[in-house]
Structure 1
Amino acid sequence: MDFLIIGILFLLLFLGLADNQTIPAILPLLIDSLHITVEQAGLLAVFYSVAAAFASLVTGIVSDHYGRRRFLVAGALLFGFASWLAAHAASFTGLTLARGLTGLGAGTISTCSIAFAGDWFDYSIRGRALSWISTAYFAAPILGVPLAAQVAGRLGWRDTFYFFAVLAAASALISLRLPHDRRDSGPSSEKWKATFRACRSFFKRRDTSAGLVIAFLVSGGLYGFLYYIGQWLNSSFGVSTGTIGWVFMLGGFAALVSAPVAGSL
C-alpha cells in the first residue's frame, strides 16, 4: 500500500472532522463573545451542514469526470480561506457566512478523499486502505478537538480558526503530492447523461432512499446532541472550554473501543 497517499487523505479528512467537532467545544465562547442566544448559535451548524451537503453531492458527481485531486486541493484552499475569514469575523452574520464557506470546503474534502481512495487502490487492498484513512473519525475527537479547545481556552476562539487555517494551507500544499487521477481526456455528453441516469436510479431505488433517510436521522440526532453538549456543560456545571475538549477526547476513546466490539456483535 502507498502510505503517503493514505497519510495525505487521512490528514484531509481529519481537517474537516476536527474543525466541525471543535465548534461544540467552543460554542460557549462564541455565544458570550458575539452576544447571541443558544438558538441563534444553531444557525452556524445549519449553514455549515447545508453547504457541506451541497458540496458533497456536486463535487462527487463532477469529480467523476474531472478527477478528485484538483477538488481536494481546491477544497483545502477554500477551507483555509474560510477559516481565516471566520477568525476575522466582526459579527455573528460574518461568522455564519464564513462557516458556510467552510462547509463547502469540508464537503468537498470529505467526499473526494474517500472517492480518491476508492479509485486509486486496487480492490484487494482497498478495504485496508480505507480503514487506515477512516481512523480520522476517531483521531479528530481524540487529538484535534482537545488541541483546538486548549487554543480557544487559552488564546481565544479566533485563534482556533487561525489554527485550522494554517492546517488547511499545509494540507493543500501536501495534497499536491497526490498522483494525478486516472481519468480519460475529458467528459463527453454521453458520459454526463450516463451520470445523471445513475443519479436518478439511485434516488428511485427504495433501498438507497431508505438508507439516505436512516443516515439523515442518525446523523441529525447524533450531531444535534453533540452540538449543544458543550454549552450545556458550561451553563449547567461551569465546565471550561479546555475541559470540554477533554470530554470529547474521552468520547473519542470510547468510540474507538466500541467500534470493533460492535462489529463483532
Structure 2
Amino acid sequence: MSRLVTRAPAKVNLTLHVLGRREGDGYHELESLVAFTGAGDTLSLDPGPELALTVSGPTAGPAGPLDDNLVIRAARHLAEAVPGLRWGAFYLVKRLPVAAGIGGGSSDAAAALRLLAGLNDLALTDPAVRLAAGRTGADVPVCLEPTARMMRGAGETVSDALRLAPLPAVLINPGVPVATAPVFRALGLTVGARNEGAPHPVLVADAGVDATLAVLAPARNDLEAPALTVAPVIGDALRALRDEPGCRLARMSGSGATVFGVFADRRAAVRAAARIRSRQPEWWIISALLR
C-alpha cells in the first residue's frame, strides 16, 4: 500500500472555563469551545511490520524523545485494543511550536489514529479508536475530527461538530514553552473545589462572525491569569494583538503561551500579522481562519 498522509492542524481554545477539580480522580473539569486552523504539522504513514517514527521540520528539535512521542503512544494504545493492528513507519513534519497551548502533540496523535483507522478499516467512532485517543491525552479526542466542537470534562466528552463561522485570526507564540502542570498549580484549585464564574455561553448554530463574537466576548480562559504568572511574556503578546486595528477579541489558547486575536476580516488579520512580525521577528506568528 502507498504512503498515507494527513494534516495535524493547530487546536485553539476559543474559550476555556475551569469548572472545578473532581473528587474521584483529581482531574480539572473543563468546558471549552475548540476550533482549528489550516496551519499545522503533517503526518505520513508507510505501512509495514515495524512501528517507527522520524521527525523533521522547523520545530522538530524540541519534540522530545521519539519513543515518548504521542504518535507512538497513540499507535501502541490502539494496538492494545485491536489485536493484529496494521501499522508502519510514521514521518512527522513539525511546524507548530511545542508546549504552546495549541495541541501540537495531541493533534499529531489524533492524526496517527486517523491514519491507522483508515489503514485498518476502523471508523473514527469505533470504541477502540476513542479509547486509544483518551488514553493518549486529554486533548486527543477533540482533535480526532478537527472541526469546531465543545470539549467537556477532562477532555473525554466531545460534542458533535458545530457550524462555526470562520473567524479571521492571528496566532502568536512568543517563543517560551509553557508546561501545563505549573499553570494548573498556579490556578490553585484543591480536589473537590469548584471555580466560581459565569456559565459558558451557548453558541448558536450558523451564526455569523459578529454574533459569534458577541457570544465569545463574555466567556474567558480561566488559565490565562495563572499562565501570566508563569510566563509574563504572554501579556506582551496579548497587548500586541489588542493594539492592532480591527482586533475584536484577544485571548490565550489552552495553558499558553500561544495567544490569538480575532479580527474584523481576513485582510486586517494578514496586515496585523505582518506588522507584529516586523517588530517581533523571533516570535511565531501566523494569520489563519479558525473554524
Q: What band does the TM-score fall into relative to the shorter chain?
A: under 0.3
> Which has the larger helix fraction?
1
> Which has the larger strand fraction?
2
Higher RCO by CA contacts (8 Å cutoff, separation 6 or greater): 1
